[in-house]
Chains A and B, each alone.
Chain A
Amino acid sequence: NAGVTQTPKFRILKIGQSMTLQCAQDMNHNYMYWYRQDPGMGLKLIYYSVGAGITDKGEVPNGYNVSRSTTEDFPLRLELAAPSQTSVYFCASSKIRGAFSPLHFGNGTRLTVT
C-alpha cells in the first residue's frame, strides 16, 4: 500500500530552469493538493484538484502550474525557477474536501534553486 508517492526526493535547479515534480496516489482519492513548506511558515496551499480535469489555485499559485489528466497523478510544474521557490514541496490527497477528511501526504521533494 504505497499511499502518496512523490519523486524526486531532492533536486537542485539553476535560476530559469524548469522541472516537474511528480505525485501519484493509489487510494482512488478524488482530491489532491500541492503544498509548500517554508521554515516557520507552516504549509501553504499552491494548487488543488477535485478530480480528473479540474484544478484550482490555492494561496500561493504564482510561478507554478498543474494538470490532472488521471485520478492517480497530479504533477506540479515550475516553468522558470526562482530562488523564492526554494522549499520543500508536499503532495497530498483526501477522500473528500477539507473538513473531516484526513490529508494523506507524500514524503516531500526538497527543491533548491540557486
Chain B
Amino acid sequence: GENVEQHPSTLSVQEGDSAVIKCTYSDSASNYFPWYKQELGKGPQLIIDIRSNVGEKKDQRIAVTLNKTAKHFSLHITETQPEDSAVYFCAASSHNAGNMLTFGGGTRLMVKP
C-alpha cells in the first residue's frame, strides 16, 4: 500500500522566515495531495491541496509543489507568523487504495516571535 514519509518532525523558525516541510510517497498512482493544519486541542483542517496534473499551487503565504517523477511534494510557508505554529500533516490518495488518504507522521512547526 501507499507509504508517506514526512520531514522534518519538528521545525523551529523565527517570525518572518520561511518554512518548508517535505513529504515523499511510494505509490506512483497517487493523484491527490492535501495538507492539513492541526492547532492545539483541535482536529486537522485542510489548508491547501494539489492534484497530480499540477506542479504548483499558491494561496497567499502558503504554496505546495509536486514532483511526480521524484514522488515528493512540499509545503512552503512564507513570512511566518506566530499563528502558523501548529502540527502540519501531508497526505496522499491513490485509487489503488480505494482513494483513501494515507497521512505522513506530522511536523510540529514553532514560529518564534
On A, residues with C-beta under 8 Å from B are 4, 40-45, 48, 58, 90, 92, 97-100, 102-103, 105-108
Q: How far is the CB of A18 from chain B (nearest CB, A)?
A: 24
Which of A40, A45, A90, A98 is the most central at the interface, judged by chain B CB atoms within 10 Å of its CB? A98
Which of B54-62, B63-71, B78-86, B99-107 lies on the face that meets chain A?
A: B99-107
Q: Does B26 contact A (CB under 8 A)?
A: no
Report B's interface with A, CB cutoff 8 A. Answer: 4, 6, 9, 31-32, 34, 36, 41-46, 49, 51, 89, 93, 95, 98-101, 103-106
B103 & A4 in contact (Cβ 8 Å cutoff): no
Partner of B34, one of A40, A102, A106: A102
**B98 pairs with A98, CB closer than 8 A:** yes
Within the complex, what minimum Cβ distance (angstroms) separates B112 from chain A?
Answer: 22
Asked whether A42 lies within 8 Å of B51 as measured between CB atoms, the reply is: no
* Closest chain B residue, CB of each to CB of A58: B100
Assuming the contacts A42-B6, A48-B100, A98-B101, asked whether A105 and B106 have C-beta atoms less than 8 A apart, the reply is: no
Chain B residues in 8 Å Cβ range of A42: 4, 6, 89, 103-106
A54 to chain B, nearest CB (A): 13
What is the chain A residue whose CB lies nearest that of B30? A99
B93→A99 contact, CB < 8 A: yes
What is the CA–CA distance of A99 and B49 in the complex, to the nearest angstrom?
Answer: 10
Set A44, A45, A107: member contacting B42, Cβ < 8 A: A107
Contacting pair B99 A98 (CB below 8 A):
yes
Partner of B100, one of A45, A105, A108: A45
Q: In the complex, what distance in Å separates the CA atom of A58 from the CA atom of B46?
A: 21
Q: Provide the bound-state CA to CA distance between A16 and B20, in Å.
A: 44
Enumerate chain A residues within 8 angstroms of B34, measured Cβ to Cβ. Answer: 102
Q: Are B100 and A90 in contact (CB under 8 A)?
A: no
A46, chain B: closest CB distance, angstroms: 12
Q: Is the CB of A43 within 8 A of B44?
A: yes
CA distance A17 to B45 in the complex (A): 32
